Amino acid sequence: MNKITQFLRQNLYLSLTMLLLAASIAFAAVTFGTIGFSQTVDKTSVGTIYLGEYDESQYEDVLGREVLAWRQDADYVVGFQGYQMAIDLDLFAFDMQATINGIVKDEMNAARFSLSEASKLVLVSAMADTFTEGIMSEFDQDAFVSDVLADMASLDVVKTFDLSAYLDQALRNFVIDTAMISNIDPDDIAAISESVDQLEIGANSRFSLLSSLEGKNLTNNQMSIIASGIQKITANTSFSGYVFEQNYTLPLWSEEGMNVRIMLVNKYDFSFYNDLAYTFVVEVEQLAPDTLAFRLKGYPFITTYTTEAIIHDPLPFQTIYQEDTGLGPLTPGVEVTETDTEYIYDLVLQQGVDGKIVTYIRTAVSADGTTTSERLYDELYDPVNEIIAENIVEKGGA
C-alpha cells in the first residue's frame, strides 16, 4: 500500500511540474508577442536627425534645432593643389516645409536645401579668391553645387570636395613648361621619336624613367636625353624628391640644369615624386633634324614656382707642366718669358676651367603672397686642369 501511495505521489508532482512549465512557456510567448507587436520601432529620420520618437507636430521644432546644430558642427571643404577653402554653409537655405512634406514614415528622408543665384555668386567669388580666376573660369558650378546639396541632404558632418573633379578636362592640356634640346645625333632623334611620343607622370606616385621606358629599345644616351628634358620642364613645379646621377662632363646636347645620366646596367634612374591627385603628361616632339621639344601638360599651378641656380665658391683648377724640348721662339702660339738667366717657352695644350658646385633652389609664391624656398638638388662640376708644354733654355746654352 505504501509503495502504491508513493508511486501516485511522485507522478502527481511530475504532472504538476509539467503543467507549470507549459503554463510559463505559454505566458512568455503571449507576453513577448504582445510587446513585440505593440513596440515596433519607428525608424523615421531626416538625414542623421532621428524623428521616430516625436509626433509629427514636433517635427518643425526638432528639425529647426538640429539643423542649426548641424550647421555649427559641419565641415565642408573644397581643395586643390594643397589649397583648401571652407564652404560657407550659411549660404544654403534650409527649406523646412519641403523637408516635412517629403517625409515618409519609417524611412531616412532628405533634408531639403537650396542655393540662390546671389549666394552662388558669393560662393564662386570666394573660390576664385582661393583658386584664382583662371582655374575657376573652367569650373562646372552647377555640378559642384549639385554634389554639395546631395551631401547636405544626408546631413553629412565632414566632406571634402576635389576641385579637379569639376574642371573642364581640356584644361589638363595646359602647357606648363617647354624645353628644347639641340645638337642631338640624328640617329638618337630617330630612335627617340619612334619609341616615345608622350610619358605619363602618375598621381600621388613616384615617377621613374626606367619604369616608364621599360621595354623600349633605347640606349643610355637616348634615355639620358629624355630624362634631361623632363628635368628641365619639371623644375618649376611642385614635384619633389629628385633622385638621379649627372654627367660630370657635359655632352654636346646638355647644359647645366638639364643634365641627367642614365645607365641601365648600373640602375642609374631619374625619379621624382608627384604629390598631386592627378596626372601630368610629358610630350616629346621632333622640331628639327637635331632638336627635340619637351612639353609638360596638366592643370596650371596656382602657386608660382621659379628655380634659381646658386653657384658656390669655385673649385680651382691645377696647372700641370709637361716638358717639351722642341718648343722654341718660332713655335706657333708659344709664350716667351725672359729672365736674367733663361728663356721660358710655354704652350697651352689645354685651358684650365674652375670646377663648381651648383645648388638649385626652388621658390614658391602662394596665391596669398607667402614665399617658401627649398633645395631641389646639387650639381658638381670638377675642375679641368690646365696643361702647359714648357721648355726652359738657359742663356748661352743651346
Tell which residue, 278, 186, 292, has the closest CA to residue 237.
278
Secondary structure of residue 354 in the 3-state scheme: coil
How do residues 278-325 score in pLDDT, each as one tens digit? 999 999 999 999 999 999 999 999 999 999 999 998 999 999 999 999
Instruction: Taking residues 259-272, report their average pLDDT.
Output: 96
How do residues 317-348 score in pLDDT, each as one tens digit? 999 999 999 999 999 999 999 999 999 999 99
For residue 8, the model assigns a pLDDT of: 44
Percent of the chain whose predicted confidence (pLDDT) is above 90: 85
For residue 216, the model assigns a pLDDT of: 93
Instruction: Taking residues 160-186, report their average pLDDT.
Output: 96
For residue 281, the model assigns a pLDDT of: 98
| Beta bridge pairs of residue 270 | 244
Element holding 82 (H helix, E strand): none
How do residues 211-237 score in pLDDT, each as one tens digit? 999 999 999 999 999 999 999 999 999
Contact 353, 368 (CB under 8 A): no
Percent of the chain whose predicted confidence (pLDDT) is above 70: 89
For residue 7, the model assigns a pLDDT of: 46
- Ranges 31-35, 126-130, 199-203: which has the least confidence: 31-35
Element holding 395 (H helix, E strand): none
Residue 230: count other Cβ atoms within 10 Å of its Cβ: 25
Sorting pLDDT into bands at 50, 70 and 90, what band is 35?
very low
For residue 41, the model assigns a pLDDT of: 78
For residue 55, the model assigns a pLDDT of: 92
For the chain, list the domains and their CATH numbers: 45-167 (no CATH), 171-301 (no CATH), 304-398 (2.20.230)
Give the span between the Cα atoms of 172 and 325, in whole angstroms. 68
Bridge-based pairing state of the strands 371-381 and 356-365:
antiparallel
Secondary structure of residue 72 in the 3-state scheme: helix
Tell which residue, 163, 137, 9, has the closest CA to residue 77.
163
Task: Retrieve residue 125's grid coordinates.
Answer: 567669388
pLDDT(387) > 60: yes
Instruction: Taking residues 267-284, report their average pLDDT.
Output: 96
Sorting pLDDT into bands at 50, 70 and 90, what band is 19?
low
For residue 229, the model assigns a pLDDT of: 98
**pTM value?**
0.78
Sorting pLDDT into bands at 50, 70 and 90, what band is 11?
low
How do residues 115-152 score in pLDDT, each as one tens digit? 999 999 999 999 999 999 999 999 999 999 999 999 99
Give the span between the Cα atoms of 190 and 57, in whole angstroms. 80
How do residues 63-122 score in pLDDT, each as one tens digit? 999 999 999 999 999 999 999 999 999 999 999 999 999 999 999 999 999 999 999 999
Angle between helices 141-153 and 117-131 (to 10 degrees): 110
User: How confident is the prediction for the chain on average, in pLDDT?
Assistant: 91
Task: Retrieve residue 241's grid coordinates.
Answer: 624628391
pLDDT(394) > 70: yes
Task: Retrieve residue 175's grid coordinates.
Answer: 602647357
For residue 32, the model assigns a pLDDT of: 46
pLDDT(385) > 80: yes
Give the span between the Cα atoms of 244 and 105, in whole angstroms. 65
Q: Going by C-beta distance under 8 Å and a sequence separation of 6 or more, which residues neighbour residue 84?
A: 77, 78, 130
For residue 24, the model assigns a pLDDT of: 60
Instruction: Taking residues 365-383, report their average pLDDT.
Output: 94
Give the span between the Cα atoms of 230 and 250, in whole angstroms. 17
Task: Retrieve residue 19's grid coordinates.
Answer: 503543467
Give the span between the Cα atoms of 84 and 312, in whole angstroms. 38
Give the span between the Cα atoms of 218 and 197, in whole angstroms. 14
Sorting pLDDT into bands at 50, 70 and 90, what band is 10?
low
Instruction: Taking residues 45-58, report their average pLDDT.
Output: 93
